[in-house]
Structure 1
Amino acid sequence: MRHDRPVNASESLLRVATVGGAQGLRGEVRLAVHTDDPETRLAPGTSLQTEPPAAGPLTIADLSHRGKHWYVRFEGVTDRTAAEGTRGVVLLAEPLNDVEEDAWYPHELAGLRAETPDGEHLGEVEGIRHLPAQDVLILREHTGERTLVPFVRAIVPTVDVAGGRVIIDAPLGLLAGSDVPDDEDPEQGEDR
């Protein structure tokens, strides 16, 4: 699934990275990358909008990849103090024109009807949240409860934007009211 997604449904810009801590003394910062193509999205010379808007735009002066991490220097940010001032800033870019299979933006998911594989109504998707381990759908169940549903193919096998629905094949206990029935005692073993 695509990681560089709009920050919220009202925005058309995509979240491509979040600035982390300063590295060294010359203004370099480590990034938490949210895009599948950092070399293109964060290429030197690229100017990016920011969240908060007052922090930018920021232009990439240099990009490097060392070990598992990406690092950048921004034009005009030449020392550690200035680099620390960019910590927590979200870098935003326009969507690419390419269309990936299994790639959806939050504004496409919000409002979709959630159903079981058998067609039972579960509720409505309110949006998506990007967590460190994986993305989760925010589901407002028909009972009124909010549930975070892991946005993985095993649990959300179908996203049908054109049809206005998602299929959620939730494991027992994930959704409200889907607890283990009272007549089943997990402590009790078989009679021998």
Structure 2
Amino acid sequence: MLVVIGRIGRAHGIRGELNVDIRTDEPERRFAPGSSVVAGRRRLTVTKARHHGGRLVVAFDEVPDRNAAEALHGTVLEAEVDPADVPEDPDEFYDHQLVGLEVRSGDAVVGSVTGLVHLPYQDTLAVDVDGREVLIPFVTELVPVVDVRGGFVTVADVEGLLDPSKAENAASDLEA
């Protein structure tokens, strides 16, 4: 099973190094020299990884120069994990653990998680609400409870969050 661990940003220098936006709490494990990652249809082998200016800079065997690095800009990086594995941090989850969970708002069941969308700056829950897909930013303020064992997530009771027709008022509710 594949899990998202990062997204390739800009090339760093001329030797094929890449800035990586980290999407894992285990970057030292996932980007350890010798480990492999999946980048689209390619498998890449990490040769080195270091932090530079608050970002992770990674070099791969298969990316010899800046041109090759620039061609990978925006590519999602994934790692293979055993489906039975769970992250060590209790506040971390693999995508497959979230799919199928009930979505609750207050005491009501309002839908179910159908997936996770990995956007450049944050992850977003895809939720089926009465047959329509609703995207909810996967942040603590909007998804305060994730109970994988209990089989549910709780979303904040914010007007417009689950009903886009009421979204115009949602921004003012959050500011209040």
Q: Which region of structure 1 is more displaced relative to structure 2, 27-36 or 73-82?
A: 73-82
| Structure 1 counterpart of 2:150 | 163
Letter in 1 for 2:113: V
Q: Which region of structure 1 is more displaced relative to structure 2, 32-41 or 85-94?
A: 85-94
| Structure 1 counterpart of 2:26 | 37
- 1 CA distance for matches of 2:73 and 2:166? 42
Letter in 2 for 1:17: G
- 2 CA distance for matches of 1:102 and 1:163? 14
Q: Structure 1: which 5+ residue stretches go unaligned?
A: 1-11, 181-185, 187-192
- 2 CA distance for matches of 1:148 and 1:65? 32
Q: Does 1:62 align with 2:48?
A: yes
Between Structure 1 and Structure 2, the one with more strand by share is 2
Between Structure 1 and Structure 2, the one with more helix by share is 2
1:171 to partner: Cα distance:
0.9
- Please tell me whether Structure 1 or Structure 2 has the larger radius of gyration of its CA atoms: 1
Q: How many residues align?
A: 165
Matches for 1:80-159 after TM superposition, within 5 Å: 80-95=66-81, 98-117=87-106, 119-142=107-130, 144-159=131-146
Q: Structure 2: which 5+ residue stretches go unaligned?
A: none
Does the 8 Å CA contact 1:172/1:178 hold for their aligned counterparts?
A: no
Normalised by the length of structure 2, the TM-score is: 0.77
Normalised by the length of structure 1, the TM-score is: 0.71
1:67 to partner: Cα distance:
0.6
Does the 8 Å CA contact 1:145/1:176 hold for their aligned counterparts?
A: no
